[in-house]
Amino acid sequence: MALIRIEGPDELYVSGLWALRVSDTLEELGVTHVLSLFNPSGLRNFKFEPWDVYAKDFRRLVIDITDVEDSNLLIELPAAVRFIADGLDREGKSAVVVHCAAGKSRSVSVIIAYLLWRFPHRFDPDLVPPGSYELSPPEGVANTPHTPHSNGTEQRNRKETAQQAVALALALVRRTRPTARPNRGFMEQLALWWEMGCPEDVETHPVYQRWAYKREVEESVAVGQAPSRLWFEDEQQQSSSSSPPSSGPRPASELRLRCKKCRRTLAAGSLIQTHASAEPTTEPCPHHFVEPLSWMRTELEKGLLAGRLTCPNDRCGTVVGRYDWKGLRCACGGWVTPGLSLQRARVDEERMPASTTAADGVRMGIRMPPGRGSL
């Protein structure tokens, strides 16, 4: 299988392991950098020279990762993209090869990550219609209708455009590499990569930390245990309140949930999750799903897989919902994991001006732990 050039201005190639055996082709193409998503140390060319001998003049980076859905490719993307960019930013002729075993999933995923970082304007679905790259939605990616904005009034944020942006980049790769097919887990991670803005530091980004924590929860639940580490979204928002807000428009107002009995604020804004109904319905869902919040600490620290959530007001203590780390199914058919639910019948809903930081939640009555702006 030959080295395949990715359409665009860069000398960027994708391949499987077999193509690397043709060392003469590597030389003819002026390859200077090789990024391996599969360890090529045992490889020999058709002259029977070992890889370390005939590739000694290449700049090389090995990220040995398994092509399975739960492999953490996301944490490797900054280093991989930086390596590709450095290789293509050299004076004079240079070329970069990205390969894995078959040249279909791991290598393609990293190339997509580079394209999203290098040419974001080419893959913003608010700017580029899906048909531009003869897009056919890959497995696991929703084919959301294209809704281009006019005069910037309908521009969506990166979370809303993530799946389409990744699908557009994959469509571009498939123009020269029709067999490209990243696994479902890698596609989800690439959507997060776009949502985060393709940052230099993934590990400290709140979106990554939230995703990594969800993986921890899933691993714990799989062995019948509650997570050993707790993550509270309101604390995270408070600690990162000095960070720039995410790109895209903000809603004019946000939902706030109060205890129906004592009026204590329980959750607001982005602390309230959305979930998709399994079946169309005109009735409101009987539950509000929320992120893990610091007022739940006492209950969640018990280490139970499931339990009740009570109002944090010491003078109230009314049961306002329940939780299950394995997940909860709403009456509408939607499934949320982990499931932390506030019953609609136990809370009052009201609209408020959109807040800009978690500190606004503190002023509304959401208590923070000591040292984090606690009232």
Is residue 100 annotated as a catalytic residue, yes or no? yes
158: left (phi over 0), alpha (psi -120 to 50) or beta: alpha
Beta strands in the chain (DSSP E): 4-5, 12-15, 31-36, 59-62, 95-99, 253-259, 265-268, 287-289, 306-310, 319-324, 328-329, 335-336, 339-343, 347-353
Question: Which one of 100, 259, 311, 330 is the catalytic residue?
Answer: 100
- Give helix 158-174 / helix 106-118 axis angle, nearest 10°: 120
Contact 64, 39 (CB under 8 A): yes
Instruction: Judge if the upstream peptide bond of residue 338 is cis by omega within 30 degrees of 0.
Output: yes
Contact 134, 215 (CB under 8 A): no
H runs (alpha helix) in 152-300? 158-174, 184-196, 206-222, 233-239, 297-300
Tally DSSP H helices, then E strands, for the chain.
11, 14
Q: What angle do CA 223, 221, 346 make, to 5 degrees?
A: 150
Q: Which residues contact 141 (CB under 8 A, 6 or more apart)?
A: 163, 166, 167, 187
Catalytic residues: 100
